[in-house]
Structure 1
Amino acid sequence: MQPIFKDLLVLELASVLAGPSVGQFFAELGARVLKVENAATHGDVTRSWKLKSEPAQTDTPAYFCAANWGKTSLALNLTEPEQLQRLYTLVRQADVVIASYKPGDAEKLQVDYRTLQSINPRLVYGHITGYGPKDARAGYDAVVQAESGFMHLNGEPDGQPVKMPVALMDILTAHQLKEGLLVALLQRERTGLGQLVEVSLLQAAVSALANQATNYLVAGQEPQRMGSEHPNIVPYGSVYTCKCGKQLVLAIGDDRQFRRLCAILGAESMADDPKYKTNYARVQHRQEVNGRLRQLIAQQERESLLRQLHTRHVPAGAVHTLPEVFGLPQAQQLLLQQPHGKPGLRQVAFRLQGQQELELSPPPTYNSGGAEGDSGPSC
């Protein structure tokens, strides 16, 4: 089977994580992706976001490698007319443009949708902003985590708001843009015309508040920080420490699972107690439930307990470190390999029947020569 997006040309006028993640998504499915980097700023800013342990001279540090596999680099200064015309030549051939400009900046550079659509009416143009087309603020993930309520909800009840350890707002925005671009490409198949797809970090974040939003909108309860606890279910997300010092998480979704949990822990009577018998009752007596379970689980060895829980179909899992995560066979299947370098991580986690995964070139080194750059040596 041919790659899904064979012969599709994607121009990536985006930097950092959200837009480049979408570019790598298309690359993994067979598209040719040109990463058009700003020659005036020496390329994507994440080329300078290096860990203390990384060499100063590398321009493909770990952060950059998170979203730039399978691309070639093309450095252009779009304020120079000759180089802008080079971009326009590519636009005539392109299928998709991915952009991430503050409102008004694309127009100043003459790379906005209206301008590029006049060159290529079939062009599908995806534009990421921080707050929408009428708010000129730049979007930064940490700020949007705060403004969208995620930081307020994240952390321990008696602690400070906490930023999540990944740029989740960028990732959510990337997923929204992928969906919009795929819909626009389907529409183009029917009409022959391109489309503008717009998504903001803030709206992508708010749309992902899910049950926390409806707890407020529908039930009238303002959600508060609860650590890893769940406001509607008990025990769900709760972390317990076993006799061996290792931790596990329970995700009990219904009363049958709770009854099986109690049986495994030798506390059958707990499942019959009116205070714990139903999820509604357990939510009312959350502290008591967790206190009892902590005592019982503290007497167990984690691996033995998890085997019993899995056998009885009780949702539970170990709290893993990242080295442990990448020891899992499911995680190994998501690795991008290269012969003489370190692996990367796929953006595409779904599988299509009969579709083979493509081998991708590693993230490209910055090309300051004005021609399409080769992929870099490795990350």
Structure 2
Amino acid sequence: MGAAPLTGITVLDLSRVLAGPICTQTLADLGAEVWKIEQPGKGDDTRGWMPPDIDGESTYYLACNRSKKSVALDLKNPEDLAALHELAGRADVLVENFRLGALNSYGLNPDSLWETNPGLIYCSISGYGRTGPRAREGGYDFTIQAESGLMAITGGPDGCPMKLGVAITDIVTGMNGVQAILAALFARERTGRGQHIDLSLFESAVALLANVATGHLNTGRDPGRFGNAHATVVPYQLFDTADGTVALACGNDGQFRRLCEDVFGRPDLAADPRYLLNRDRVDNRETLIPELQRLFATRPTNEWLAELDAKGVPAGKVRSVAEVFTSPEVQIRGLVQEVPDERHGTVRLVRSPLRFSDTEVMTPTAPPRLGEHTEEILATVRPRKSH
């Protein structure tokens, strides 16, 4: 196996909380050296987000800061600011999520940094983008889910709008940041120049509307909510069994026929003109779904799953988080890694899902303590008094 893809790339991480740290954590997974700049005595906000915690250390923080180096610097301290400028002069990538204009007074805006480091790729992450009527507002996943339309399409048909169980707009914006940074690094190979990447949680969330967006834009229809059912594919939802729940995902007419004929022994359902094609099933879901529910209720979940798998009909069990991490899929693929940690002995982390045939993804190291690497990193810049 060769070296990790981003070996030799240095990332100056001025971001906090989730979107930016998710982005830079992935860059670290890919081999970049990530310098996480934190405020002395306080650090990333997520260090205080608990419970849950391990002996007073936030597990939220652990989720998005593996394999980084923490450098504690006070931007209001002239010596620290000068050191930060020297680090910015050596970095390939800078990621920040400060309020609009907040870094200008420190000379940490793109134009100022490009004077000494023209190849720097500068990625800004904000709630609504660096231009536009709401550029000065902060961004919070909960409000972005509400304002982007994601909440309007999530939840039961007769219930209230719901958010996803994780901060999905932060996570997706972080993923978009990785894509944009990789593309900018590729472009720099041709041009020799860096560029400014302007990402917003709001735009990332609106882009997540996907087929819902194109449906509305081209028909004018407001999609509403379907709970655990699918707006345009039927049957594609949860069904209660004799002892649990099955998630059924019939994505095409062939799968529906196999469900009816081979699993349920009901060829009459497959041949019924009301259910012959997916569009027919969408139009007649009110009669089809109760009949399928009646059939599923006659046997336990594991029997149905074995039968559905044998007949090539996509389905799954609704698992608890505990069940996920004891599943053979997680264990055999090595998705959980236990890494050494000075304070706890070891910590268990979810490894990067990225896998390559010819290059390594970095073996993760434990998320750093606040300022753990300050002297190590700054010693490479210039001699410095200890804090």
Shorter-chain TM-score: what band?
over 0.9
Q: Is the 8 A contact 2:52 2:59 kept in 1?
A: no
Partners of 2:15 and 2:53 in 1: CA distance:
27
Q: Answer yes or no: is 1:341 the counterpart of 2:341.
A: no
Distance, in Å, in 2 between the alignment partners of 1:277 and 1:200 is 43
Q: Is the 8 A contact 2:233 2:278 kept in 1?
A: yes
Deviation for aligned residue 1:336: 3.0
CA distance in 1, matches of 2:52, 2:302: 35
246-255 or 101-110: which moved more? 101-110
Which secondary structure state, in structure 2, belongs to the residue aligned with residue 353 of structure 1?
coil
Kept in 2: contact 1:334–1:349 (CA 8 A): yes
1:249 partnered with 2:251: no
Mapped to 2, the partners of 1:272 and 1:369 lie a distance apart of 67
Deviation larger for 85-94 or 360-369: 360-369
1:75, distance to aligned residue in structure 2 (A): 0.9
Cα 1:325–1:26, aligned 2, differ >3 Å: closer, same or farther? same
Question: Offset at 1:266?
Answer: 2.0
Q: What secondary structure sits across from 2:215 in the alignment?
A: helix
**Separation in 1, partners of 2:101, 2:9:** 28
AA in 1 matched with 2:175 = H
C-alpha contact 1:177 1:198 (8 A) present in aligned 2: no
User: Deviations 1:19-76 (Å, cap 9, x if unpaired)?
Assistant: 111111111111111100123x6110000001156544x3xx1100111000111011
Partner of 2:86: 89
What secondary structure does 2:355 align onto?
A: coil
Distance in 1 (alpha carbons) for counterparts of 2:184 and 2:314: 39
Q: Which residue of 1 aligns with 2:199?
A: 199
Secondary structure in 2 matching 1:305:
helix
Matched AA of 1:15 = R
Match of 1:65 among 34, 53, 62: 62
| DSSP-derived class of the 1:371 partner | helix
* Cα separation, 2, equivalents of 1:70 and 1:351: 17
Matched, 1:262 2:263: no
Partner of 2:28: 27
How high is the TM-score relative to the length of structure 2?
Answer: 0.91
TM-score (norm 1): 0.93
Where 2:375 maps in the other structure, the secondary structure is coil
Change (3 A) 1:119 1:330: farther
**C-alpha separation between the residues in 2 aligned to 1:188 and 1:329?**
42
Which runs of structure 2 are paired with 1:231-310 in the superposition (5 Å)? 231-236=231-236, 238-243=237-242, 245-263=243-261, 264-310=263-309
Match of 1:351 in 2: 355
The whole-number CA distance in structure 2 between the counterparts of 1:52 and 1:29 is 28
- Show the counterpart of 2:130: 133
Read off the aligned partner of 1:38 and give its amino acid letter.
Answer: Q
The answer (yes or no) to whether the contact 2:70–2:374 under 8 Å persists in 1 is no
SS at the partner of 2:227? coil
Q: Which of 362, 367, 378 is residue 371 of structure 2 equivalent to?
A: 367
**In structure 2, distance between residues paired with 1:114 and 1:334:** 41
Residue equivalent to 1:376: none
Q: Distance in 1 between matches of 2:278 and 2:147?
A: 32
- CA drift of 1:342 comes to 2.4
The question of 1:76 aligning with 2:73 is answered yes
Contact kept, 8 Å, 1:102 with 1:130, in 2: the verdict is no
% identical aligned pairs: 37
Counting only pairs closer than 5 Å after superposition, residues 209-248 of structure 1 correspond to structure 2 as: 209-236=209-236, 238-243=237-242, 245-248=243-246
Query: CA 1:286/1:369 → structure 2, altered by over 3 Å: closer, same or farther?
Result: closer
2-structure distance, mates of 1:108, 1:307: 63
1:173-188 map, 5 Å: 173-188=173-188
SS of residue paired to 1:30:
coil
Q: What amino acid is aligned across from residue 291 of structure 1 in structure 2? A: P
**Matches of 1:248 and 1:327, distance apart in 2:** 19
In the aligned structure 2, how far is the partner of 1:368 from the partner of 1:52? 23
* 2:337 and 2:349 in contact (8 A); partners too: yes
Q: Per-residue deviation at 1:101?
A: 1.2
